[in-house]
Amino acid sequence: METIAPPAKMINGETPKREDVPAGDCLCDYCTAKCCRYFALPIEEPTSEQDFDFMRWYLLHDRASVFVEDEVWYLLVHTTCKHLQNDHRCGIYLTRPQICRDYTTDNCEFDEDAVYEMYFETAEQVAEYAEARFHSDGASIRSPEPELLPVL
């Protein structure tokens, strides 16, 4: 598991809340670069069993999840930018991609813990959701439970 170093700056020995950062200071100076440790891409809302099967496939890959925020579905890939340095700074700041240049701290997740309308971390969660959505008649898309082992 990746170890995240503490932010470069603290206030009274603690990471401050957004409103406690002194006016004129850069919020990024107090952050662990949360925005550089994942990317999320909007995906079409799944409407069929096949769509949910594709979602299951996404989640069979390490460090992927799917979430819904403001009724928009996203594929979330938990991966750190190759150019993020140990001090939480960008190693290619002057030549960073336009998406990074356009990003602002106005609504970033600096001191927030994300809460989503829906969040799927495993293929099994997607299968259960799809089953509830498409098979409310009692039919199941799950494999049968294996037989219990004999007690010796």
Percent of the chain with pLDDT over 90: 55
Tokens of 134: 């498409």
Examine the pLDDT at 4 and tell me if it is beyond 60: no
Beta-sheet strand order (sheet of 39-43): 39-43, 72-77, 64-69, 118-120
Write the burial class of residue 14 (CB in 10 Å: 0-12 exposed, 13-18 middle, 19+ buried). exposed
pLDDT at residue 2 in the model: 54
Q: How crowded is residue 65: how many other Cβ atoms within 10 Å of its Cβ?
A: 19
| pTM metric for this prediction | 0.76
Tokens of 34: 């949360």
Domain ranges of the chain: 18-134
3-state secondary structure of 84: strand
Span 17-75, pLDDT tens digits: 888 889 888 888 888 899 999 999 999 999 999 999 999 999 999 999 999 999 999 99
40/59 Cα distance (integer angstroms): 14
